[in-house]
Amino acid sequence: MAISFYEKGELSSGFRGWRVVATIRGKRYQKYFSLKRPNTRITQELWRHYQETRARYYEARYMARSAAIQYLDFINKEHPTTRPHRGVGFCGITLGIGTGRTTAREVCFFSVNKRGAATKFYIDEQSSLSQAWEWAVKHWGEVHEIRPKDVAQKLIQVPHPDRFKALRKHMNDDEGQDFPASVLHHVYAEQRGQLETQKVRETTKGRLEKDELLTMYANLERQVSEYRR
């Protein structure tokens, strides 16, 4: 965005006045506001003030349009430099696999990025996939000043566990890493729990309906299964 004033003689066309130029999504926009009065009944001072006001208005209009488009692109498109299999469909959050809360083991995580700084939200025994996503998205909304309604929309778009599975494969096959399958354990924990609960419902034929009872039953089933091994 730029607004420039030209005195007579500065441009070969002889134009004298303001020019407003803007480039939005690669398309160039420009408007000219000449100091040449349409008739002599309008004073030079009044016409100059009028044309300058119009030029400032269009500058502000272009700036607002550019800001709105940048914001929409930010919340709806991945950054061009996002590395393979790490994007989540918008800017500011990426998937990752690496050192967890301690250096003892590696886990999956969501990384909220801003100006070279990153805050990681780990998926481990302390926080599930959906919990880590919720905390990451809320932090993303705060640091990037995202509208509440847009944050709410992203909260329900929890990435599927298979996204981390694909990332692990890519990093091992193409980036020289050697992450074991165990890094995905906590990523799939919720999915395993849902399958176990569904299995319990089918096994008990609906006799147990409370979530706590279903969970307890599923845990007992798992413990018995592990004991029999």
Q: Alpha-carbon torsion 127, 157, 90, 163, what sign?
A: positive
Domain extents for the chain?
2-76, 93-184, 189-228
75: left (phi over 0), alpha (psi -120 to 50) or beta: alpha
Q: What is the DSSP string of 33-88?
A: EE---SSTTS-HHHHHHHHHHHHHHHHHHHHHHHHHHHHHHHHHS--TTPPTT-B-
What three-state secondary structure class fits 112?
Answer: strand
Residue pointed to by tokens 């025994």: 125
Contact in structure between 3 and 18 (CB atoms under 8 Å): yes
At residue 194, the pLDDT reads: 77
Give pLDDT tens digits along the chain (229 positions).
799 999 988 988 999 999 999 999 889 999 999 999 999 999 999 999 999 999 999 999 999 999 999 999 999 999 999 999 999 999 999 999 998 877 778 999 999 998 878 999 999 999 999 999 999 999 999 999 999 999 999 999 999 999 999 999 999 999 999 999 999 999 999 988 777 767 766 666 655 555 554 455 456 555 545 544 4
Beta bridge partners of 112: 93, 119
| Residue 227 confidence (pLDDT) | 45
- pTM, whole model, 2 decimals? 0.77
Q: Which two tokens stand for residue 35?
A: 């100091």
